[in-house]
Chains A and B, each alone.
Chain A
Amino acid sequence: MSQDILIISFKNVTKQFDKDNIALEDLSLDIKKGEFIFLVGKSGSGKTTLLKLLYLAEKPTKGNIFVEETDITKMKSGEIPLLRRKIGIVFQDFKLLSKKTIFENVLISLEVIGIEGDKAGERVKKILSAVGLGAKLDKYPEQLSGGEQQRVAIARAVVIRPQIILADEPTGNLDWGRTREIIAIMDELNAWGATIIFATHNERLFENTHRRVITLENGKILP
């Protein structure tokens, strides 16, 4: 049923950084609730810009973007945190805090939405166990492998139970074994109902997939 409800909609969106640098051009795209989408394209094709527009790290030059029927391009700066709480973001470079343990790195997501204490602690432990890091709560990011760090980043993104997960090249630095682990976690999150946009340039990931694949080239969606 949820497959028919639109959760994200890009309407004629253009993002131009300067005169000769158009990252996205007149892009329109609808994403239904519960979809798992592979956003593919070469480096510089506009994948990261598209994701950044969704969590308003960038604003479009033209066009409108709707998230759950709200035009986020018209949001005031004070409303942006509320949008971001609906979205879990997994970055290619993990963006973990080196001076905090992995427990604290995940806890911070709950703290910003006002959840603390035992309840928050239990939730963090549960999610870290789910991604296979239940025994490494007190480790610091630098004590973990690349794949483990990426799993911490995923745990941080999903601990707030977001409706949308944006993953920007989350397997870019991982070997095939670790990549499959990450895909499996994403599959599970999708099965729980999260809408996932998975940006990658690794063709192997979507070769034989039944998921929708959106290919970007020079800021446009290929038919």
Chain B
Amino acid sequence: MTFNIIIKKAFKDINRNFAPQIITTAIVSLFIFILVFYDVLSLNLTRFVDRFGRELAIVIFLEKDISPTEVPKYYEKMSKIKDIKKVTYISPEEAYKRLEENLKEEKGVLEGLNHNFLPHSFEIEISQAIQNLERIQDIAKEIEGWKGVSKVLYGQEWIQGLSIFAKNARIFVYLVALILLFTAAFVVTNAINSLVYHRREEVEIMRLIGATNFFIISPFIFVAFLQGFVGSLTGVITAFFAFNKLKEFLYTSPLLMDIKLAFLNINEIFSILFISVIFCVSGTYLALRKSLEL
């Protein structure tokens, strides 16, 4: 029963102050649009980096004097390491063949050399390499310490660079998201405060005739909820349409290689809506506590 009255009062408030409420909702939409834009950018950058990261591998060279009978032991030991997806053995002959292919016209420099002059080696692929950049380093260091291993290559600088970039991009997006959400909550809180100011006489009278704090603040909280929800939903929908337009535009771009651009998944969208509503409602509640001296 009281709930009906609260909803009616909230909609009356919106109706009476329609323009300021719409502007506030539009500002929330804009902030959420920017937030989603950064989030989608970060997501696709990660996918872009992941595309290259798939080729990340560790190459292990054994000591020259390791006999072929000992090689399976190393293979087995490597296969047992956690997070290793695939271990490929490269025989000295296979390595020689690859070297020849790489040298192309200059393969003549190999003339006179024994086809077995290269050491036994392995290529290791790591599960979800791009999410496991630190793990690659750890595995490489672990194998480097084994007896009989002469060298371990894993493109340390490239991996570290990727790792730092990926981390910083996420931190940047989280910071931007936090600032935008706080700003959106601040705008909504101010709009509600102005609503309270216009209704201060009514609030005073309602108190004198026995209205509870819940009854007084609920319509304001409901308006803040609507602004947070409608504002963020509009922001997400607008960002989705803008993303699709951009995708159509970039569809044939060679820059994308075979990477498919992705939008936020349903869980991320719900999280943005939920957090936006929580920020707007809690900001408004705190402001009401202060302005109405609850």
Please list the residues of chain A having a beta carbon within 8 angstroms of any beta carbon in chain B: 55, 57, 78, 81-85, 89, 95, 97, 100, 108-109, 111-117, 156-157, 160
Q: Identify which of A55, A83, A108 contacts B206 (C-beta below 8 A).
A: A108
Q: Identify which of B2, B4, B205, B207 contacts A97 (C-beta below 8 A).
A: B205
Given A84-B209, A85-B210, A108-B209: A116 and B202 interface contact (C-beta under 8 Å): no
B4 / chain A contacts, CB cutoff of 8 Å: 116-117
Please list the residues of chain B having a beta carbon within 8 angstroms of any beta carbon in chain A: 1-2, 4-5, 201-202, 204-213, 215
A81 near B205 (CB under 8 angstroms)?
Answer: no
Query: Min CB distance, B288 to chain A, in Å?
Result: 15
Write 8 A-B pairs (CB below 8 A) sorted by A numbering.
A81-B210, A81-B212, A84-B208, A112-B209, A112-B210, A116-B4, A116-B5, A160-B209
Query: Min CB distance, B182 to chain A, in Å?
Result: 30
Query: Min CB distance, A85 to chain B, in Å?
Result: 4
A111 near B208 (CB under 8 angstroms)?
Answer: no
Assembly CA distance A89 to B215 (angstroms): 19
Q: Identify which of A89, A100, A114 contacts B208 (C-beta below 8 A).
A: A89
Given A81-B210, A81-B211: A95 and B205 interface contact (C-beta under 8 Å): yes
B211 / chain A contacts, CB cutoff of 8 Å: 81, 112
Assembly CA distance A109 to B210 (angstroms): 8
Q: Give the top 10 A-B pairs by smallest Cβ distance, nearest first.
A: A84-B210, A85-B210, A112-B211, A81-B210, A114-B2, A81-B212, A111-B5, A114-B1, A109-B209, A116-B5
The residue on B at minimum CB distance from A111 is B5
Q: Identify which of A57, A89, A114, A160 contacts B5 (C-beta below 8 A).
A: A114
A160 / chain B contacts, CB cutoff of 8 Å: 209-210
The residue on A at minimum CB distance from B3 is A114
Assembly CA distance A116 to B1 (angstroms): 7
Assembly CA distance A160 to B211 (angstroms): 12
The residue on A at minimum CB distance from B209 is A109
Assembly CA distance A108 to B206 (angstroms): 8
The residue on A at minimum CB distance from B206 is A112
The residue on A at minimum CB distance from B208 is A89
Assembly CA distance A112 to B9 (angstroms): 12
Assembly CA distance A84 to B206 (angstroms): 10
A97 near B201 (CB under 8 angstroms)?
Answer: yes
Query: Min CB distance, A151 to chain B, in Å?
Result: 17
Assembly CA distance A126 to B207 (angstroms): 24
A100 / chain B contacts, CB cutoff of 8 Å: 202
Assembly CA distance A108 to B202 (angstroms): 10
Query: Min CB distance, A199 to chain B, in Å?
Result: 16
A97 / chain B contacts, CB cutoff of 8 Å: 201-202, 205
Query: Min CB distance, A124 to chain B, in Å?
Result: 14
Assembly CA distance A78 to B205 (angstroms): 17
Given A97-B202, A112-B215: A55 and B2 interface contact (C-beta under 8 Å): no
Assembly CA distance A111 to B211 (angstroms): 9
A-B contacts besides A108-B206, A112-B209, A116-B5, 15 pairs, CB < 8 Å = A55-B208, A57-B208, A78-B213, A81-B213, A82-B210, A85-B210, A89-B208, A95-B208, A100-B202, A108-B205, A111-B5, A112-B206, A113-B210, A115-B1, A160-B210
A81 / chain B contacts, CB cutoff of 8 Å: 207, 210-213
Most buried by A among B1, B205, B208, B210: B210
B207 / chain A contacts, CB cutoff of 8 Å: 81, 84
Assembly CA distance A78 to B210 (angstroms): 10
Assembly CA distance A108 to B204 (angstroms): 12
The residue on A at minimum CB distance from B16 is A99
B215 / chain A contacts, CB cutoff of 8 Å: 112
B1 near A89 (CB under 8 angstroms)?
Answer: no
